A and B are shown apart, each in its own frame.
Chain A
Amino acid sequence: MIDNYILAPVFIHLFTAIAQLMAWRKTVTQRVMSVIGSSLGVLLAIRLFTKVYHSGILTMNSSNWDAPFGIVFVADLLSSTLVLITSLAALAVSLFSATGLSRQRMLYGYFPIFHFLVMGLNGAFLTGDIFNLYVWFEVIIISSFVLMTLGGRKAQLEGAVKYMAMNILASTFFLTGIGILYGITGTLNMADLALKIKLVENQSLVGITACFFLIGFGIKSAVFPLYYWLPSSYHTPPSAVAATFGGLLTKVGIYAIIRVFSLIFIPDEFTKNLLMALAILTIVTGSLGALIKVNIRRLFSYLIVCHIGFMVGGIAMFTKVALMGTIFYLFHDILVKTNMFLIAGLIRQMRGTMNMKSLGGLYAQYPKISLLIAIVLFSLVGIPPLSGFWPKVYLFQASFTNGQYIFAAALILGSFVTLYTIANMWSEVFWKDVPAGVEVDNKFEPMPLFRKILLVLPIGLLGCVTLYVGLNAEAIIVLVDKISDQLISTQPYIEAVLGKQN
């Protein structure tokens, strides 16, 4: 079914960004526009999602060129759900950054760039063309470079250089892979590639191309040997930016791995083993890193790496149950990780530091906010019935039925370390008294009530969505079940793009 509506979540952010560029240096106008644009984005994403849920995969051939020749946009269940969750996270971040960000950064164009970033994310989820995916990735990384360097302390520039070098390298790998893929198949449309890749005689060349894509996406999603840039850059930018990065950017890499490996390079035994080894090592290194960190955001960065391993492991098993676990975890992870970095930002506002050694006493001072944060922390750890629990059930089930006992052990290790570090953080930050000799720089207390609400509201919003996902897991499981069906039998996707095949 052809539908122009697909691009609405992309265009709304583009319009918002242009309107904000016109209102250059008018920070109040930009803030209002940002919140309005993101709210409209959520509404449009909800409409797109319900449309896709009820009437099947939607496609749109841009410029009216027929499918394998032009650029096609496809909204299947996976991409439309991700667009919805991304829009929710974007709304939370734009609410938070309306007060949680220094005016200086807004003057340098934080808001327009942020909306370009969200536009790039939505575009990457919705495109059905592999080169167009590359272009959206570049939109994402150029915007993220700017967001990362706004401000420009030394530590921030250090993180930005590492981030820039690794991400440009990843794009080059991705581009090389696309070049070889075009050379051996002569097409760039993902649905068409799915058909043509089977006809290539030299299948080992296909395997090498798959490795190029794996390295490219692996750097972006921070899997084991390629993750070093993440913990050394995500703790430097302001928290609103770190929330966008930590919640969404690595997940685009995971989305791309899922899309490319379910549609084009169906994993064979070698790829499965490779992905599984990478997943296990990612979990182990991520959790080892998380154990020793005392800075909250560095801790969260390592937890991101650790949890990326969960998802890659699910892809590596490539059975229906495993994919259900992976996709459920992907949804949960976007919501929770965005929220975690927002919480880090809130703690920074309350105490002026993110070092656990000099934090403390938050529960005594703000019991209600602490309870709200506790819900988020619990769902990150995966206490039933919160959202982190359900995907792990599926991942465990899949790893036992497939005989992947090492992965099951790694899952236990990862979950246990998450529990330990979060419990440690809770006692250090919330329960412990403020250590003697530490001057508390509380910027939160003197704020007017409106700004306080604006800071806590996004955390509450994402927390409510997390609660909904956890408590209403039955509906989500039905959705995830449909998505993994679409991923395993790709025929409906191909037919939606190219029309009925003979």
Chain B
Amino acid sequence: MKSPILQSATKYLLPILLLFSFFLLLRGHYYPGGGFVGGLVASIAFVLHSFANGTEATMKILKHKPLSLIPVGLAISTVSVTIPMLFGLPAMTGLWLEEPIPVIGMIGSSLFFDLGVYLVVIGVVLTILFTISLNNLEEKN
């Protein structure tokens, strides 16, 4: 599907959707949102790009394989889960900085957990979709 309208629309939609996904990620602590939803929105942005320009073009702008996001995300989440154990608290207890940071708001260990989930979701969704669509391309050729 190569439509010039979609192609030029994606050029602007991709950054906006990524920004929106980041907004959802940060908003998740007190309002609806969070790592999973943010990750889905971000991967939808890339999926839209691959619809418009083909899967190869999307892989080119990603530079790295989406698979490599999974261990990074898992590691961030796991570290944020285990850090409270170093302070003698039960695992997964939220640790918060005293003062809020401008724009981002309160920062705590659960933000890093969400960040990990965000990366894992992007990695998993894009890996699955690329696997399916690349198989299709190979079959066609």
Using CB atoms and an 8 Å cutoff, list the residues of chain A in contact with chain B. 2, 4, 7, 11, 14-15, 17-18, 21-22, 24, 60-64
Q: Is B7 an interface residue (CB 8 A)?
A: no
Complex contact A63–B94 (CB within 8 A): yes
Complex contact A60–B82 (CB within 8 A): no
Of the listed residues B68, B85, B91, B94, the one surrounded by the most CB atoms of chain A closer than 10 A to its CB is: B91
- From A14, A15, A22, A61, B90 is in contact (CB under 8 Å) with A61
Stretch at the interface among B12-20, B36-44, B51-59, B71-79: B71-79
Shortest Cβ distance from residue A367 to the other chain B in the assembled complex, whole angstroms: 46
Can you list 29 residue pairs at the A/B interface with Cβ under 8 Å? A2-B90, A4-B85, A7-B91, A11-B82, A14-B74, A14-B78, A15-B78, A17-B74, A18-B71, A18-B78, A21-B70, A21-B71, A21-B74, A24-B67, A24-B68, A60-B90, A60-B91, A61-B90, A62-B90, A62-B91, A62-B92, A62-B93, A63-B90, A63-B91, A63-B92, A63-B93, A63-B94, A64-B89, A64-B93
Cα distance, A22 to B91, chains bound together (Å): 24
Using CB atoms and an 8 Å cutoff, list the residues of chain B in contact with chain A. 67-68, 70-71, 74-75, 78, 82, 85, 88-94
- Residues of chain A within 8 A of B68, CB atoms compared: 24
- Residues of chain A within 8 A of B82, CB atoms compared: 11
Shortest Cβ distance from residue B140 to the other chain A in the assembled complex, whole angstroms: 21
Which single residue of chain A is at the shortest CB-CB distance from B88? Answer: A4
Cα distance, A22 to B70, chains bound together (Å): 9
Shortest Cβ distance from residue B27 to the other chain A in the assembled complex, whole angstroms: 20
- Residues of chain A within 8 A of B92, CB atoms compared: 62-63
Cα distance, A4 to B91, chains bound together (Å): 7
Shortest Cβ distance from residue A24 to the other chain B in the assembled complex, whole angstroms: 7
Which single residue of chain B is at the shortest CB-CB distance from A15? Answer: B78
Cα distance, A64 to B96, chains bound together (Å): 14
Which single residue of chain B is at the shortest CB-CB distance from A22? Answer: B71
Which single residue of chain B is at the shortest CB-CB distance from A72? Answer: B90
Shortest Cβ distance from residue B106 to the other chain A in the assembled complex, whole angstroms: 16
> Given A18-B75, A24-B71, A64-B93, 10 other A-B contacts at CB below 8 A?
A11-B82, A17-B74, A18-B74, A18-B78, A22-B71, A60-B91, A61-B90, A63-B91, A63-B93, A64-B89
- Residues of chain B within 8 A of A4, CB atoms compared: 85, 88, 90-91
Cα distance, A14 to B71, chains bound together (Å): 11
Cα distance, A373 to B69, chains bound together (Å): 44
- Residues of chain B within 8 A of A14, CB atoms compared: 74, 78
Cα distance, A198 to B59, chains bound together (Å): 57
- Residues of chain B within 8 A of A7, CB atoms compared: 91
Which single residue of chain B is at the shortest CB-CB distance from A116? Answer: B74
- Residues of chain B within 8 A of A15, CB atoms compared: 78
- Residues of chain B within 8 A of A63, CB atoms compared: 90-94
Complex contact B75–A64 (CB within 8 A): no
Cα distance, A4 to B70, chains bound together (Å): 26
Cα distance, A22 to B67, chains bound together (Å): 10
Cα distance, A449 to B94, chains bound together (Å): 51
- Residues of chain B within 8 A of A17, CB atoms compared: 74
- Residues of chain A within 8 A of B89, CB atoms compared: 64
- 10 tightest CB-CB pairs across the interface, nearest first? A21-B71, A63-B92, A64-B93, A62-B92, A22-B71, A18-B74, A4-B85, A64-B90, A18-B75, A63-B93
- Residues of chain B within 8 A of A60, CB atoms compared: 90-91
Cα distance, A63 to B108, chains bound together (Å): 13
- Residues of chain A within 8 A of B78, CB atoms compared: 11, 14-15, 18
Cα distance, A495 to B102, chains bound together (Å): 45
- Residues of chain A within 8 A of B67, CB atoms compared: 24
